[in-house]
Amino acid sequence: MKNIRSAVALSALVGSIASAQSFTLSDLNSTAEFDTSSGQISWMVDGVEQIFDQSFWFRRSGDTQEFQVNDSNLTLDGVFTQDTNPFRDIGHDAFGQLYSDGNGLQIETIFTLRGGNPGSARSDLGEQIILRNTSNSAISLSFFQFVDFDLGGDFSDDSAQIINGNTVQQSDDDFFISEVVVSPSPTFFQVSNQFDISSALEDGDIDNLNGNASFGPGDAGWAFQWDITIAAGDSFIISKDKSIVPTPGSLALLSIAGLTATRRRR
């Protein structure tokens, strides 16, 4: 996916945003919605909801638990949206957020949506996470990505596996999602019932992913963990890409519009 870090300088970057806001990207057959207080909360492809939750978490050296990046212990310093392909369609397809902890750690997330032709059931989401150390000393931390896809709006029959420690494949009867961590490879990973991962991140103590590589069918979720040390003035960049495609023989079923996840959001 195209690197759009320069877009921050070209877009409206607002400081110290106090309240939660929602931003929706659109491109051809796809929309993606992000909430500054909770993470990604929607990815609609041809009118079908595909995701329940994607969030990022971190734990600094000395912390006694993991914290969600969108949590109030970080300051949201700015957001931007941008149309990176105005000759293809009209609508913002890129979204970025910048958070800081007041002690030298900055976390920037950038998403770029690329939809497919209407009716194709295809979509792509490029992601870049930049962890910066603006302090005068090294920062050690663990960084987590947690994802709960409900492909086709149905959470009960998904199966998922992690291959080579950096590639996720998840499927149900009608859809197939893959995510590739382009660089760098995670330190740990886990795929399991989504509740096992989300509850561990939220339980108020230190947790590490357990290396389980397959799960399903069921309410699948998965996560990656990077254990890193960032030198003073340096950055750590994670590049990832997600692609949704239909499974063979499923396109005829996708004419049934309005399929949405039925679980109540946490």
pLDDT digits (tens, 9 = 90+) for 159-181: 999 999 999 999 987 889 999 99
**Model confidence, pTM:** 0.87
- pLDDT above 70 (res 139): yes
Mark 36-45 as b/e (b = at least 16 C-beta within 10 Å). Answer: bebbbbbbbb
pLDDT attached to residue 190: 97
Q: What tens digit of pLDDT does each residue of 59-113 get?
A: 999 999 999 998 777 999 999 999 998 888 889 999 999 999 999 999 999 999 9
Q: Which residue type does 123 have?
A: S
Q: How confident is the model at residue 154 (pLDDT cuts 50, 70, 90)?
A: confident
Closest listed residue to residue 3, CA positions, set 225, 182, 169: 182
Average pLDDT over residues 13-40: 82
Q: How confident is the model at residue 134 (pLDDT cuts 50, 70, 90)?
A: very high
Closest listed residue to residue 107, CA positions, set 138, 148, 81, 75: 75
pLDDT attached to residue 19: 63
CATH no. for 25-255: 2.70.98.40
